[in-house]
Structure 1
Amino acid sequence: MCGSERLNKDLHVVVLMGGWSSEREVSLTSGKGIVAALEERGWSNVTPLDMDRNIAAVLTELRPDVVFNALHGTPGEDGTVQGLLDLMQIPYTHSGLTASAVAIDKELTKAVLVPHGIRMPGGRIVRSDSLYEGDPMARPYVLKPVNEGSSVGVAIVTDEGNYGKPISAKAEGPWRHFERLLAEPFIRGRELTIAVLGGEALCVTELQPKAGFYDYDAKYTDGLTTHICPARVPDNVARAMMDMAAAAHRLLGCRGISRSDFRWDDELGEAGVYLLEVNTQPGMTPLSLAPEQARQRGIGYGELVERLIAEALGEDLAPVLEQSAAAR
């Protein structure tokens, strides 16, 4: 019997969502889907909670048995909420304080993963105002905030772009909203992603935006991106990416489910695989990639939600994937 089947559905589950990050609306959509799934599966005591600054007092009053963390972005994905829940001794889903704090910081993530052989794009931190004096590296390159997710504030700087050369202070871009940015060489090729559940990579999805690149709008607007799941890539390339995603999950100390995003230069074979970042709070919306990959492995949305709660309460998720593989 797997962990989720042993769960007491009378437990009080608080689904923490919303908050004040740039990803608030996506978090609310994730949270509402989780609440609906639990209620449909017979959970009798589920409380949706839109987080505000009084979160500690509200949780003290609610006294949950477990918190399903459906927050995206800061402070729900950077270790802040995780530390609060640790202090309050409330079990919660997804990664803990340390893994969350490291994974949301792209510079720290590189420092942990690259020495262990995980291939990531080179790059460096730049002051935003320095971009008005000249490029930090040869174009094309990518600029992104150090501590944001969901491609918030990402800009691809090319010779053909309209930012100017050097970038104009009047041009709209992340340099106008963040003091520090990570500059990385642009990796040509294809956009792919892999969810890891219970330490095991699920499958590879290729993302084909209808226009531009896989930015925030492309991720969360129906019809703007085609998901190819499983991706049509060579077996050795798929295995290399899945191994890298599972290793990143383990090295960062992630729990529950994570999602690793990749670029693949398909002219270089395995040598063209680059991990971009690890998301410790992947979306749970109808368009989200982690639930889609779980379905590919025979795990429906409601079952995925329950398995994450089971893991938060100390159950082992590894047998889940063994069972799903045996069922195929």
Structure 2
Amino acid sequence: MKPTVAVLMGGWSPEREISLVSGKACAEGLREGGYAVLEYDVKRDLRALIDFLRPAGGGGPEVVFNALHGRYGEDGCIQGILEVLAVPYTHSGVLASAIAMDKPMARHVFRSLGLRVAEGIVVERRSLAFGDPMPRPYVVKPIDQGSSVGVFIMREGDNLAAVEMAEAAFGERVLVEKFVPGRELTVAVMGDRAVAVTELRPRTRFYDYEAKYTDGITEHLVPAPIPGEVYELAREWALTAHQALGCSGLSRTDLRWDDSQPDTSGLVVLEINTQPGMTPLSLAPEQAKWAGISWPELMTWMVDNARRPQ
């Protein structure tokens, strides 16, 4: 008998709507795979969540499929609750989720492994009102958001004060990174396997939230049409990042490659996503499909590889 699976979705982060789309798609794939599925829209009500997962009369879901995105859903918080309740769950555990979501800390880990990252600093958001923290162009991003929420590329002529105001919703500190020109790459990892490299070619100025989730705005090229040594190094770095942070299940690492630089010297790691998007436009499922893994098969693999708290 296949276990009953609860799909957690929604939440209250800026990525709520994307999480709902991911959750519905995952629930459909699980049902196609023969699972009994319970869908749960997570609200800021811990008692209700506990009652759902561990009802007083017994029963409840046997496995949780975590389709939450953003803060509280992929930063170790919900994972901690599931650990306490001893409910098996998909994706990475508490520590890996927390480190990956904290971009400055993840960068520190990447550098310690010898992975190249863009030059960057953490600054107080309010300091942006007083001038550029580094020469333009550079990227400003929240330190703990996903899906390119709140990410800005500052080029000559752009209004820095407007960015400072927009970032107010995401905390008092921001990460500022030197902009790496060239090509956008991403690599999905399933367990101990780097699946493929996709090149993303957005028709907007960069691969932002809109480009990720609006059909037709971004061209996905898989496998990426890049030199073999760059392709293999991107896969190697993605797997290294996944393993070093202690990730499990499915993850996705985003990179940039400055193709004006010789050999692989222009490749940098941007970040790792411990719960990559699972919408019909999402990149990790697309790579799995390219590798011959159907949507229901991917859902089954993720349930089979769920973390089992002790």
Q: Same fold (TM over 0.5)?
A: yes
RMSD (Å) for aligned C-alpha atoms? 1.4
- Residue equivalent to 2:100: 103
- Residue equivalent to 2:268: 274
Alignment of 1:175-324 (within 5 A): 175=168, 177-268=170-261, 269-312=263-306
Q: How many angstroms apart in 2 are the aligned matches of 1:243 and 1:235? A: 12
Residue 308 of structure 1 deviates from its aligned partner by 0.5
Flag structure 2 segments of 5+ consecutive residues without an equivalent: none
Determine if contact 2:33/2:299 at 8 Å carries over to the other structure.
Answer: no
Determine if contact 1:258/1:280 at 8 Å carries over to the other structure.
Answer: yes
- Residue equivalent to 1:60: 54
Q: Taking structure 2 as the reference length, what is the TM-score of the superposition?
A: 0.94
**Shift in CA distance, 159/308, structure 1 to aligned 2, threshold 3 Å:** same
- Residue equivalent to 1:152: 149
- The aligned amino acid for 1:134 is G
Question: Is 1:131 aligned with 2:128?
Answer: yes
Residue 57 of structure 1 deviates from its aligned partner by 2.5
Q: Secondary structure at the match of 1:304?
A: helix
Of the three residues 18, 28, 33, the one matched with 1:36 is 28
Q: How many angstroms apart in 2 are the aligned matches of 1:96 and 1:170? A: 33
Q: How many angstroms apart in 2 are the aligned matches of 1:80 and 1:175? A: 23
Determine if contact 1:169/1:176 at 8 Å carries over to the other structure.
Answer: no
Residue 88 of structure 1 deviates from its aligned partner by 0.2
Q: Secondary structure at the match of 2:105?
A: helix
Q: Taking structure 1 as the reference length, what is the TM-score of the superposition?
A: 0.89
Q: Secondary structure at the match of 2:18?
A: helix
Q: How many angstroms apart in 2 are the aligned matches of 1:66 and 1:176? A: 34
Residue 313 of structure 1 deviates from its aligned partner by 6.0
Determine if contact 1:16/1:51 at 8 Å carries over to the other structure.
Answer: yes
After superposition, give the CA deviation of every residue in 1:229-286 in whole Å (9 maximum; x if it has no partner).
1110000000011000000000000000100001100011301000000000001110
After superposition, give the CA deviation of every residue in 1:282-322 in whole Å (9 maximum; x if it has no partner).
011100000000011111111001000001166xxxxxxxx
**Shift in CA distance, 188/96, structure 1 to aligned 2, threshold 3 Å:** same
Determine if contact 2:99/2:105 at 8 Å carries over to the other structure.
Answer: yes
**Shift in CA distance, 40/156, structure 1 to aligned 2, threshold 3 Å:** same
Q: How many angstroms apart in 1 are the aligned matches of 2:219 and 2:162? A: 34
Query: Alignment length, in residue pairs?
Result: 301
